[in-house]
Each structure stands twice: as structure tokens, then as C-alpha cells.
Amino acid sequence: MVEINAFLARVFRRVPARLNIGFMLFLGCFITYMVRVNMSINILAMVESRDNETLPDYGDRYPWNADQQGLLLGAYFWGYLFTSIPGAYLAEYFGPKIVTELVFIGCAVITALSPLAASGGFGTMYAARFLTGILSGPLYPCFHNLISRWAPPDEKGKYVASLQGGTLGTIFTWQMIGFLVEAVGWAWGGFYIPTIIIIVATLIWFMLTADRPDTHPRITEEERTYIENSLGDTVSNEKKVPPYLKLIKSVPFLSLMVLHYGNLWGLYFLLTATPKFMSEILGFNMGSTGVLSSLPHIARMLLSFVFGSIGDIIKRRGWLRITVMRKFFCIFSHIVPGLFLIGLCFVHEPYTCVALITLSLGFNGASVLTNLQNSQDLAPNFAGTLYGIMNAIGTTTGFLTPLLVAYFTREENTFENWRYVFMIGAGAYIAPAILFFFFGSGQVQPWNSIEKPPKSEEDSK
């Protein structure tokens, strides 16, 4: 281990340790979304035809009907829902490094065994996807815990923006798996090769990540001192059960939770409904739909880094107080995206609709300065716990938004019916932002503090 650290120290001697952490956050989110979305492509090559048409030979096919396919695609999210909150406690108690490594190893094992699970039938395949979700629940709390302990206050915007690695993971996985399945079949293309990628990422994570600056084996004394001094006494290394009762009574946290819910409503709505809208209403073919559906997510990823950098500059130069900045940028992260969705109700030209959808999700990239970062303001010691609770509740939008679309388009799948969907989406963006304007805060809350244990007489000698 000493030799490995010496080698890595030579390789990365000019790279700040906190920059390595930012890269690892991006990579971690990339892997998270790779195991989250791979099944949406794999399943197309795994199921039998409903019309007895001849399908390409990508491997064994299974008689899973439409309802079973929907259950398989939702299994991950049900598992994810159960472990977001307890996973946050694990991250804060045992440290995000080891928890993330164990999650990645578990996901690699289940992904590698998925072809065997599929051969066992629908039940075992569902169990594999459900377990993958169970394992993945702690990941984002782990990432937020790392940010709270590594990111200086005037650099947090870029760190939170690095969590958009999941967007690239989604786009890359959809394209990669589609190509690999055609080349080598769904078992290798959809499961074995992603397993190899997860293993490589785990090794990189093991070598480059540390829970805190003072435990990093290759950080310079100058950088460690800079990070610790910038964080001050807002972050403690003491372990403590999160103050659940106090935080669920906290008005700033509750308003943040509503703001985050509105953000995820818009994100999951556009993630699940955009391909359907572009294909069935705007009339784009499958190839064009795939490319055009990726544009809003690419815009969101790129603008998140732009907004993150802008926020860091504002904080560094002291132009706005934290609370004012959080509320001001809700205009871009929530109000403007909602207005673009309203605009969709009155536009029929296909490419104009694509532009409005892209701008709506693109401006939501400003969420790196609002709901995605505010948990770091309120309670740096429990940022993972706060985000775990918010994410557990917000994940329900992944189930509700498809049901909403299905309700309004069940009888007639027309542009007029989609207007109701867009108006509800706009309200889900705008109403939480207005609530946050009144009740949100960017100040550290009293329940963030962790009392240090009193020194014994022996320690004081």
C-alpha cells in the first residue's frame, strides 16, 4: 500500500486532492446512473415479440408481458426508495468511502449475475433489479457527505455540479449498450461489460478517495489546512445520530424538501415523457427521438457547471448573502423552467417544442445553487441525511409522473391533452419556488451542531 501511495503521489503530485474528489464524484454518479438505466435498453433485447415477428438473435428471450416489463423497470426505484434514509446514516457513521465501495462491489456482483437471474424467470430478475436499487440508495447521501467535508464554501457550486455525471452516464449507457447488444448480445453488452466498468471504477475510487482531508494519504499540508480553515467549525468529525425530530420540524428544511420535490418532478417528467411526446405527438422517428431526447439532459449538465461556477464567484466576492443567492437562483432553476413548460401549451411547431423542452431542463441546471446545495448550508454535519430524506420522498415522482401522463393520454393522445400535463409540470416547478422564497434559508441551523465529548482528566494532562 505504501508503494501504491508513493506511485500515485508522483502521478498526481500537481493535482489538488480536492480536484480528485470532484472527479470521483462525477465518476460515482456516472456509475450510479449506468446501473439505474441499463435495463431500459437491455429489456428490449430480452423479451419475446408480441406479434410473432422475427427478432434479431441477441440471446435468449423471455415471455414477459407489458405489465411485467413495467414492473422490472420500476423495481430499481422501489429498492432505492427504501435505503436512501438509512443509507445516509451509514455514510455518516462509517464514512462515504467504504460505503460507496461496498455498494459498487455489490452492484457489480448483481449485474454479473443478472443473465443467470433472467434465466430463472421473472421473479429472480425482479429480485436482481430490486436489490440493485436497495444497494444504490446510500450513494447520493455518500456523495453529499463527501462534498460537505471536502468542498470549501466558495467552491461548492462546482462540486455539486459534478453530481451531473449521472446525466452523462445515462446518455453514454443508452448509446453504449445499444451498440454492444447488437454486436455481442444482451448478456455481454448489457451486463458483463458494464460489470467490468463498475469494477474498474471501484478500483479508481479506492485509490483516489478519502472520507476527509485529514485522512487522505497524498494531500499536501497546505491544501489540508486551507480546506479545514475554510470549513471552520461547521463540520465535525464526531459521530452522532442525526436529529431527525428537529429536522422534520425545521421550516427551512421542509421548504427545501418541497423545492427538491418540484425539481425532481420536472426532471423525472421530462426523463420519462419526452421520448413519448416527441415520437407520438411531434412525429419524430425513433432515431431522431433518441438524439433529440438527449438534448435537454446535455443542456442541463452543461449549464449546471456554468451556474455552479457563477455561484462560486458570487460567494467568493461576497456579492450576495447565501440565503439571498439561494432564493434568487430559484428564478432560473424553477420559475423559468416552469414558464417554458407553459409555453409548450401554445406552440405546435416540432422544433420549437424541442427548443422549449431543452431550455426548460437546461435552466434547471441552476438547481446546483438551490435545492441541490441548500442541504450543505443548513446542516453540513448531516448533509447526507438531509439529502437522503429529500431524495427518498422525491423519488416517488418517478412513479407518479408516468401515471399522470397515462391518465391524460389514455383516451386520446393529443396535443390538447398534453397541455394539462405541461401545466401541472409548470405548477410543480413554480409553486415550490414561491414557497421557498418565503420560508427558505441559507443559514446553518442550530441542530447542525455536535457537542464534542468532554475531555477526561488524563487527556487534559
**411 neighbors 418 (Cβ within 8 angstroms):** no
CATH architecture assigned to 9-224: Up-down Bundle (1.20)
Where residue 289 falls among pLDDT bands split at 50, 70, 90?
A: low
Computed from CA positions of residues 320, 321, 323, 326, in that sequence, does the dihedral angle turn out positive or negative? positive
Rg (CA), the chain: 23
**Residue 62 β-bridge partners:** 47
> Is the model's pLDDT at 159 over the cut of 50?
yes
Alpha-carbon distance of 73 to 268, in angstroms, equals: 14
pLDDT over 70, % of the chain? 92
- Residue in the structure block whose three cell numbers are 422525491: 394
pLDDT for position 460: 42
**Mean of the pLDDT values across residues 57-77?**
86
User: What SS3 state is found at 236?
Assistant: coil
**Mean of the pLDDT values across residues 403-427?**
86
Query: Same CATH fold, 242-448 and 9-224?
Result: yes
Sequence spans of domains, the chain: 9-224, 242-448
Rounded mean pLDDT of the chain? 88
Nearest one of 300, 111, 325, 272 to 197, comparing CA atoms: 111
**Mean of the pLDDT values across residues 393-410?**
83
> Is the model's pLDDT at 310 over the cut of 90?
yes
Where residue 450 falls among pLDDT bands split at 50, 70, 90?
A: low
> Is the model's pLDDT at 461 over the cut of 60?
no
Instruction: Give the single-character DSSP code of 320.
Output: S
Residue 321: which region, alpha, beta or left (left: phi > 0; alpha: psi -120 to 50)?
beta
Angle at 270 (CA atoms; ends 268, 271), nearest 5 degrees:
60
pLDDT for position 65: 85
| CA separation, residue 373 to residues 157, 367, 379 (Å) | 8, 8, 11
> Is the model's pLDDT at 199 over the cut of 90?
yes
In degrees and rounded to multiples of 5, residue 444 shows phi and psi of -65, 130
pLDDT for position 203: 96
**Mean of the pLDDT values across residues 358-364?**
95
**38 neighbors 190 (Cβ within 8 angstroms):** yes
Tens digit of pLDDT for each residue in 3-23? 655 555 555 556 788 888 999
CATH topology of domain 242-448: Growth Hormone; Chain: A; (1.20.1250)
| CA separation, residue 171 to residues 189, 268, 298 (Å) | 16, 15, 8
**Mean of the pLDDT values across residues 82-94?**
90
Alpha-carbon distance of 31 to 319, in angstroms, equals: 36
Class of residue 207 by CB neighbours under 10 A (exposed 0-12, middle 13-18, buried 19+):
middle
Where residue 173 falls among pLDDT bands split at 50, 70, 90?
A: confident
Alpha-carbon distance of 228 to 226, in angstroms, equals: 6
pLDDT for position 54: 74
- Least reliable range by pLDDT among 66-80, 114-128, 218-232: 66-80
Amino acid at 268: Y
> Is the model's pLDDT at 340 over the cut of 90?
yes
pLDDT for position 458: 44
Where residue 304 falls among pLDDT bands split at 50, 70, 90?
A: very high
